[in-house]
Chain A
Amino acid sequence: AQKITQTQPGMFVQEKEAVTLDCTYDTSDQSYGLFWYKQPSSGEMIFLIYQGSYDEQNATEGRYSLNFQKARKSANLVISASQLGDSAMYFCASLYPYTGRRALTFGSGTRLQVQP
């Protein structure tokens, strides 16, 4: 089963602090991709960061980094120096390009609120 679990329905963080959003996945496949998307209240899904299963280095994109722990099947998103504009829903997703569904399977999301 291609399942994504996000156990934090909501998170609060103070502006300028770092925050970690948790994500675990369930697979026996060797080849897969893990994604994080941001969904502001306006509704659009914004791609943040990608990690391939064979990538040895953790992915980074500006203030976003992905803490990839393959043995634990976790792909946590770290946002450094939080900004008020980071308040949104965050979704973790997986894709199995060779053996499974070749569309994204999403978790239930985490609502992040950044406080001034």
Chain B
Amino acid sequence: EAGVAQSPRYKIIEKRQSVAFWCNPISGHATLYWYQQILGQGPKLLIQFQNNGVVDDSQLPKDRFSAERLKGVDSTLKIQPAKLEDSAVYLCASSLGDRVNEQFFGPGTRLTVL
């Protein structure tokens, strides 16, 4: 079974530029999560989708971050414009439903903002 796929794996941009990350969850998984992991900290939820609807985006900085999950499968997370403090690893995870035990994580995208 293929795992959660993410691309790119690494991205370096300058502040005020835009960037987008892509995630393909495990086939059949209805719930998709984007987490932000700043160096030295645990991951923090940015947004959670159930199929193509948003369940929780309370911690998403909506003035610069946006995310979508068209057709309830792939998802894209965008930052526009990026700030220095956005430097982090962006992790995508998926699970069968939103009340189940296990979330499967992708390899992450490491973003460096200069």
Contacts and interface: CB of A to CB of B under 8 A. Distances in A.
Contact of B108 (A43, A50, A109): A43
Interface in A25-54: 33, 35, 37, 42-47, 50, 52
Nearest to B44: A106
Contact of A103 (B33, B89, B107, B110): B33
Contact of A101 (B35, B56, B101): B56
Contact of A43 (B41, B93, B107): B107
B56 A103 contact: yes
Interface residues of A, number: 25
B103 A104 contact: yes
Interface stretch (A68-76, A77-85, A90-98): A90-98
A108 B41 CA distance: 5
A16 interface: no
A43 B43 CA distance: 11
Nearest to B33: A103
Contacts of A35: 101
B54 to A, nearest CB: 12
A50 B102 CA distance: 8
Given A50-B101, A97-B98, A45 B43 contact: yes
Contacts of A42: 107
What 10 pairs between A and B have smallest CB-CB spacing?
Answer: A106-B42, A45-B105, A97-B99, A103-B45, A102-B98, A50-B101, A103-B48, A43-B108, A44-B107, A91-B42
Given A43-B89, A47-B102, A52-B101, 4 more contacts: A47-B104, A103-B33, A103-B103, A106-B43
